[in-house]
Amino acid sequence: MAKVLVLRTAGVNCDEETAHAFRLAGGEVSVRHVGSLLRGEDALENFDILAIPGGFSYGDDLGAGTVLANQLRTRLADDLHAFVDGGKLVIGICNGFQVLVRLGILPGWEGDKAASLIENVSGKFEDRWVHLRVETDQCAFLDCSGGYSEPCARYLRAPVAHREGRFVLRDPDMVDRLRENGQIALTYRVSAGEEDQEPGAAEGAYPANPNGSVLDIAGICNEQGNVLGLMPHPERFVHRLQAPSWTRNPPDASESTLGSLSRAGDGFSIFSGAIGFVNDRADKIR
Amino acid sequence: MTSLRTWEVEVHWREACGADPRAVELQGQLADLLDGCDGGIKVSSLFYLRGEGLDQDQVALAAEHLLSDSVTQECELRDLGDGERLPDPQADGDVGHVATVRKKTGVMEPVEESLLKGLDDLGLSGLSVRLALRVRFQIPLAEEQLDLVGEKVLSNPAIEDVFWDETEVPSPFIAAAPYEFSLGEVELSGIDDEGLVQLSIDGQLSLNLDEMRTIRDHFETQGRPATDIELETIAQTWSEHCCHKTLTARIEHEGPDGEKFTYENLLKDTIARATRELMEQEETPFCLSVFKDNAGVVAFDDEYGISFKVETHNHPSAIEPYGGAGTGIGGVLRDTLGTGLGAKPIVNTDVFCFGPPDLPMDELPAGALHPLRVLRGVVSGVRDYGNRMGIPTASGALYFDERYIGNPLVYCGSIGLIPRGMVEKVVHPGDRVVALGGRTGRDGIHGATFSSVELTEESETVSSGAVQIGNAITEKKFLDVLIKARDLGLYRSVTDCGAGGFSSAVGEMGEETGARVDLEKIPLKYEGLSYWEIWISEAQERMVFAVAPEKYAEFEALAESEGVECTDIGEFTGNGKLELFYEGNQVCDLGVDFLFNGRPPAHFSSVFRKPEVEAAEPHVGLSAAALLREILAAPNVASKEWVIRQYDHEVQGRSIIKPLQGPAADGPGDGVVFTPRYDSLRGIAIGCGMNPRYGDIDPYRMAVSAVDEAVRNIVACGGNPSKTAILDNFCWGNTARPETLGSLVEASRGCYDAAMALGTPFVSGKDSLNNEFRTASGTLSIPPSLLISSLSMVEDVSCSVTMDLKESGNLLVLVGETRAEMGGSHYAKFAGGGGDVPCLPPEASQIHQAMHGAIQQRLVRSCHDLSEGGLAVAAAEMAFSGGLGAKIQLDKLPVSAEGGGLDDLQGLFSESNCRYLVEVSQENKEALLALFDGLPAAVVGETCEDGVLEVTGKDGAGEILSESIEELRTIWKEPLIFDAV
């Protein structure tokens, strides 16, 4: 069974729903304080998937994710790099994405820090649902071909809730490198689209692109595809009734059971894809 | 030999990255204040670091990894040597003014703690740090504008200093003088009445003469002077804020028709009486804990209960809106954590009352902050605290009235999930008194007594000690510890340090046993606090636990593993005394019996005279369309999306029916629905009701209307009215005036009658009196402001409904009777006139039950409750939220027998209670109407594709309104957007 570590520390606050999403997907989940890793009570190497959930680690004082990234970099760098280089999976959601970018694990390039997640163009924290398109075919969490489990949908909905989600690059030319490497994982779109009709790109326009990210980037992965960072919260949409306007198409009485509703959110496939990937690899090794 | 070395790191935006968001925001505010401004400003963060032999490489390391983001920011490092003098910020060639903004000494700066933690990770320990903000003006400012800009844009004078002249900027590191113990005593014996009153005023005790006499007599019997800390403890325990002496007083009341009522205890005889009587009728227990703990608790399922508490934080928010509102939400969350053995917070609610946001600056009374500034500060305070705690803020309301200028209202609510077996707690003699969480500083001294007196134009300066600054992460950390410790059974009781600090928390917990506390053991943020300041400080984010001695080591280890400070500060003794020591000196020796039962009973008399009711006829002839447009744009009705979206209302993943509804997610939902458990489809619905405009005319009917609206809110989205609990929050003016108290008594009577009629028990409540603002030209008293909050069980959340119209060709059914009750309505606000305030009709409970039945049977496609603006506003909101048109025929409206005289405008805009507008498919029409057999309900219209709201008058009047829903949507959405840019 795939072992998932959901990392928490002061101010992390999406650990519970992230753990729930991985459990629904069949993972064996441990929610652990970063202190237990630092004290050696738990070891990163015992896990297959590391999830850094959303929240405000250490209050986001000094910038989103800064203090946690600094802590991981100074105290756990070797374990973390061994985990990533060994092809194990890492997902950073919202604040977790900010931490991975601060650490340089995303985009994962040598040299000076290339990317940052800065204050939204709107200047404020906002909670709103966005439409997403999966742009990459090399990320273990976003497997639209269904190589390991149920395929991930190409188009997804999820809520964003952040103030610092504008993805920027130090050098505008770096966009090409991201694109060529297949590292653009998710982009914001204007709608869910109609049948046989692609939804348009957000093209930077608010509110479809809620923060002003370059190229409408909502999430990126590393070159190997085993690390994903994204601003939207897929863990908040694993259940059909978590959708924003489900009452327009409500389940009838016969569909209204926990079993049939609870894995029917768009975000679920990101978690089940990761678990499927790990199980598939374990089968192959065996 | 090493020496202390100080560095300044200035971090600013890289110009290559485009506009600096912080500068843009400040510039917008400056332009507002100065009526436009040319040129730019530059904003930078300053970090002062000081340590033994701190060198450039170390500072550069901190700058790179902690103080700046190298992608978007640049740093400058400056060696300040011994730090006694600061560099001249203008020395680098800038010509304009430069302002440096810094928190006043002793005011909490949450970032410092995280910075020290990060420095420690970098191997830099033992440093001192301080923060500041520097603003460089490239725009010309006249000397006389500096103070204005400093006070209105750059800082809040209650907590921050602005320095325009670099030679005035003091060193950031000023050590507080250490405290030297000396016992303060007050000889009370023989002091006359005048002296007692003066003593109460001088000491900011807020005690009345009767109480001061009782205290004097008590110490005369003891044959010794009182100590200062004893007086402070009594003042806090007996404060209006802590013991609600007005609501629990004996009151002789004269009603509107001269009838006499006597209440031995107003609260027990009205609100709590309804609960008692309803509990006697319960077949299965619903009310699990009422009116005795920090929050009320009702049954959710066999395993869990749900707690609910709503608090106000009005006076702190008037002076420092951001900190006041943030600590308001922080405080009510601690109420949840301190309920029973601790409930886990799952949803926040917020309701605010402000002055008009467009108030001209020259009409602002001296000493009051501008309503827009209060609004922005309060919204960001709740946002930053609630979001950081990871608790969705999902339900609320906003009200505007001139009388909230100077005294805004900030209601913060918290709902929690608690195992049913953990609702009770008992302190045992011998248990340790354990403090957990943040350290104690000089913040919030006299908050409990400060909140019990009216504000004046001086309040901003004299009461700044009462301002509290919160740190949500400290609270989130002990939340994590508390829930773990609770589930491991590591403590026997817990309560929060709220108003009154340790004095209130330890006092309450030791009410049965007594307690001994060694005050010097309490960890401090900085030196210099006297023993009594430690005892009554309202520093945030602290809880007190009763821990059995044999469990303490495990409790402490758990706290340490989560990085939370935990201290054993004393013992619950069992000798019935509150004994306080400082470094071995006894400073307090009070019997808990005197402290909790010694307060002299209060007596008041009150009277209510009905104001002259205006004639029902309107003064202004406005068309239906003009009225609808006015009302949709009125601030109490207009879209609250700007506020709602700044709150994370979906964190924790429990949100099922959200506050913004419809395909464009902009429709104004009535209530919200949450699933407290991931493994169940059982949910809760949350709503509220309030209408201060009704209270000006008829506070009794205002109360019944608020209860009915709160119930409609939850029924409309799927809540069960038979499993609904409600909360009362009274915010009133100075009840020392018999007529002000009279309106409060009338409202309490209304609360009892409505709760009984609807079968909804009150489970918790709070009052905040003396909400007045005194200026040189007179006193501004708030209108009677009763907030009713509702919490309801939802058997199956998949039956829930929203208010957006779903499909064209469906029917619209109006449930409930429409009466000519225009008093206090929005119709009367714009057209004049009025008449009666809406009553609670006798069939109210049956209507709510039938409505719930229809939703449970999945017969309803959409449902919206009728409140401000009546049928017209409800129909418009449903139409534009669903992107569909609607046709309404007024001759089909269910009206009461005496309502034949209802004219078309009254039919459209009456705010009669107990009404819903319901969308139903043609095929379900009969089944739906059958549920309302014998009750007022009728098909009044239909939904259509054309995007137009069309209303036909009665008696052949033809079309009286035809408006594009897109236009109506725009009118409704635009008024309350307050972006600075």
Q: Could you give phi then psi for residue B61, rounded to 5 degrees?
A: -60, -45
- B926: its two tokens: 């009969």
Total Cβ atoms within 10 A of residue B511: 18
Do residues B839 and B712 lie in contact, with contact meaning Cβ atoms separated by under 8 Å?
Answer: no
Query: What does the pLDDT read at residue B138?
Result: 84
- Closest by CA to B670, choosing from B792, B775, B764, is B792
Contact B316, B368 (CB under 8 A): no
The verdict on a CB contact (< 8 Å) between B71 and A233 is: no
Among candidates A75, A121, A241 on the partner chain, residue whose Cβ is nearest the Cβ of B798: A241
Chain A contact present for B428, CB below 8 A: no
Residue closest to B30 by CA, chosen among B19, B20, B41: B41
Are A252 and B66 within 8 A, CB to CB? no
Q: Is A258 on the interface with B (CB under 8 A)?
A: yes
Residue B354 lies in a domain: no
Angle at B280 between CA B278 and CA B281, to 5 degrees: 65
**CATH number, domain with residue B852:** 3.90.650.10
Restricting to B residues 173-202, those with a Cβ less than 8 Å away from any Cβ of A are: none
Residue B255 lies in a domain: no
* Per-residue pLDDT at B230: 96
Question: A247 and B657: CB-CB below 8 Å?
Answer: yes
Q: Which one of the listed residues B218, B313, B446, B826 is annotated catalytic? A: B313
Q: Are the Cβ atoms of B563 and A10 closer than 8 angstroms?
A: yes
CA distances from B481 to B103, B405, B437, B555, B629 (A): 30, 40, 10, 9, 52
Say which of B388, B477, B652 has its CB closest to residue A17: B652
Helix (H) or strand (E) holding B196: helix B193-202
**Chain B interface, mutation test: which of A247, A255, A256, A258, most B Cβ atoms within 10 Å?**
A247
Query: Among this protein's residues, is B241 annotated catalytic?
Result: yes
Per the domain annotation, does B931 fall within a domain?
yes
Residue B867 domain flag: yes
Q: Are the C-beta atoms of residues B9 and B75 closer than 8 Å to each other?
A: yes
Average pLDDT, chain A: 94
A200 Cα to chain B: minimum distance (Å):
17
In tens, the pLDDT along B662-704 reads: 999 999 999 999 999 999 999 999 999 999 999 999 999 999 9
Residue B663, preceding peptide bond in cis (omega within 30° of 0): no
Instruction: Round to whole Å and give the CA distance between B761 and B494.
Output: 26
Helix boundaries (H) for B297-451: 314-319, 321-337, 371-389, 447-450
What is the band of B89 on the pLDDT scale with cuts at 50, 70, 90?
A: low
Digitized pLDDT (tens) for each residue of chain A, 286 residues in all: 899 999 999 999 999 999 999 999 999 999 999 999 999 999 999 999 999 999 999 999 899 999 999 999 999 999 999 999 999 999 999 999 999 999 999 999 998 899 999 999 988 999 999 999 999 999 999 988 888 777 888 999 999 999 999 999 998 889 999 999 999 999 999 988 777 788 889 999 999 999 999 999 999 999 999 999 999 999 999 999 999 999 999 999 888 899 889 899 999 999 999 999 999 888 877 6
Q: Which residues contact B543 (CB under 8 A, 6 or more apart)?
A: B334, B337, B338, B435, B436, B437, B478, B482, B494, B495, B496, B497, B505
- d(Cα B349, Cα B315) in Å, to the nearest integer? 19
Total count of residues recorded for chain B:
981
Interface-testing mutation among B71, B112, B383, B806, with chain A (most A C-beta atoms within 10 A): B71
Q: What is the pLDDT of residue B463?
A: 44
Range B95-120 average pLDDT: 87
In angstroms, how far is the first alpha carbon of chain A from the final one?
13
What is the DSSP code string of B586-619? EEEEEEHHHHHH-SPPPEEEEE--PPPPPPSS-S
Chain A residues with CB under 8 Å of B652 CB are: 13-14, 16-17
Average pLDDT, rounded, for chain B: 92
pLDDT in tens, A183-208: 999 999 998 877 778 888 999 999 99
Beta strands in B53-179 (DSSP E): 73-79, 98-103, 128-137, 160-163
Contact (Cβ atoms closer than 8 angstroms) between residue B908 and residue B832: no
> Edge-to-edge, what's the strand order for the sheet holding B778-781?
B455-456, B772-775, B778-781
Q: For chain B, how many structural domains are there in total?
A: 2
Beta bridge partners of B397: B351
CA-derived radius of gyration, chain A:
18
CA angle B264, B265, B271 (to 5 degrees): 130
Nearest to A67 among B25, B117, B480 (CB): B117
Q: Cβ of B121 and A127 within 8 Å?
A: no
Other Cβ atoms within 10 Å of A253 Cβ, number: 12
- Tokens standing for B861? 């496609």
Residues 98-127 (A) with a CB less than 8 A from some CB of B: 102, 112-116, 118-119, 121-127
Is B699 inside any structural domain?
no
- Which residue type, as a one-letter code, is found at position B498? G
How do residues B460-512 score in pLDDT, each as one tens digit? 444 445 567 789 999 999 999 999 999 999 999 999 998 889 999 999 999 99
The tens digit of pLDDT for each residue in B401-432 reads: 999 999 999 999 999 999 999 999 999 999 99
CA distance A127 to chain B (A): 5
Residue B661 with chain A: CB contacts under 8 Å = 245, 247
Q: What is the pLDDT of residue B94?
A: 56
Choose between B854 and B140: higher pLDDT.
Answer: B854
Quick count: other Cβ atoms within 10 Å of Cβ B663? 14
DSSP character at residue B187: -
B307 - beta bridge partners? B297, B416
- Residues from chain B that touch A244, judged by Cβ atoms under 8 A, are 658, 660, 665
- Which among B473, B562, B653 has the least Cβ separation from residue A20? B653
Contact A73 B65 (CB under 8 A): yes
Decide which of B120, B152, B168 is a domain's last residue.
Answer: B168
- Decide: B895 and B821 in contact? Cβ < 8 Å: no
**Between helices B965-973 and B624-633, what is the axis angle to 10°?**
40
Residue B358: φ, ψ to 5°: -100, 20
Q: What is the DSSP string of B53-87?
A: T--HHHHHHHIIIII--TTTEEEEEEE-TTSSS--
- The domain limits of chain A are 3-285
List the single range of A227-241, B68-82, B696-710, B897-911 with lowest mean pLDDT: B897-911
Percent of chain B whose predicted confidence (pLDDT) is above 70: 95
At B900 the pLDDT is 63
Residue of A41, A48, A13 whose CA lies nearest to A27: A48
Tell which of A18, A57, A62, A260 to mutate to test the B interface (max B CBs under 10 Å). Answer: A62
Residues of chain B numbered 359-398 and touching chain A (CB < 8 Å): 383, 387-391
Angle at B834 between CA B363 and CA B865, to 5 degrees: 95
The interface predicted TM-score of the complex, written ipTM, equals 0.96
B92 has pLDDT over 80: no
Using a CB–CB cutoff of 8 Å, tell me whether B858 touches chain A.
yes
- 3-state SS assignment for residue B341: coil
Quick one: which H or E segment has residue A145? none
CA distance A182 to A172: 17
| Residue the block writes with tokens 């903000």 | B133
> Which domain does B99 fall in, by range?
4-168
Q: Within an 8 Å CB–CB cutoff, is residue B47 touching chain A?
A: no
Report cis status (omega within 30 of 0) of the bond before A107: yes
Catalytic hit among B12, B97, B218, B241: B241
* Structural element, H or E, at residue A50: strand A49-52
Please tell me which residue, B341 or B113, carries the higher pLDDT value.
B341
Q: Which of A266, A173, A267, A169 is closest to A220 using CA atoms?
A: A169
Question: What is the model's pLDDT at position B344?
Answer: 97
Q: Which of B17, B391, B484, B678 to mutate to probe the A interface, most A CBs <10 Å?
A: B678
Task: Render the burial of B147-183: b for 16+ CB within 10 Å, e for the rest.
Answer: eebbebbbbbbbbbbbbbeeeebeebeeeeeebeeee
Which residues on neighbouring strands pair with residue A162, listed in sequence order? A126
Is position B972 within any domain? yes
d(CA B818, CA B829): 19
Q: Look at A114 and B71 and tell me if their CB atoms are within 8 Å.
A: yes
Query: How many Å lie between the alpha carbon of B58 and the closest alpha carbon of chain A?
Result: 14
* Least confidently predicted of B467-471, B905-909, B966-970: B467-471
Query: Which of the residue ranges B48-57, B251-260, B451-460, B502-511 would you say has the lowest mean pLDDT?
Result: B451-460
Backbone φ and ψ of B789, nearest 5°: -105, 145
Query: Is residue B653 assigned to a domain?
Result: no
B236 in a structural domain:
no
Query: In the 8-state DSSP scheme, what is residue A42?
Result: S
**How far apart (Å, rounded) are the C-alpha atoms in residues B218 and B319?**
36
Q: Sorting pLDDT into bands at 50, 70 and 90, what band is B980?
A: low
Mean pLDDT value across residues B928-956: 96
Apex B644 CA angle, B350 and B364, nearest 5 = 70
Cβ–Cβ under 8 Å, residues B758 and B845: yes
Share of chain B above pLDDT 90, in %: 77
Identify the architecture of domain A3-285 in CATH: 3-Layer(aba) Sandwich (3.40)
Of the candidates B115, B471, B649, which has its C-beta nearest A62's C-beta? B115
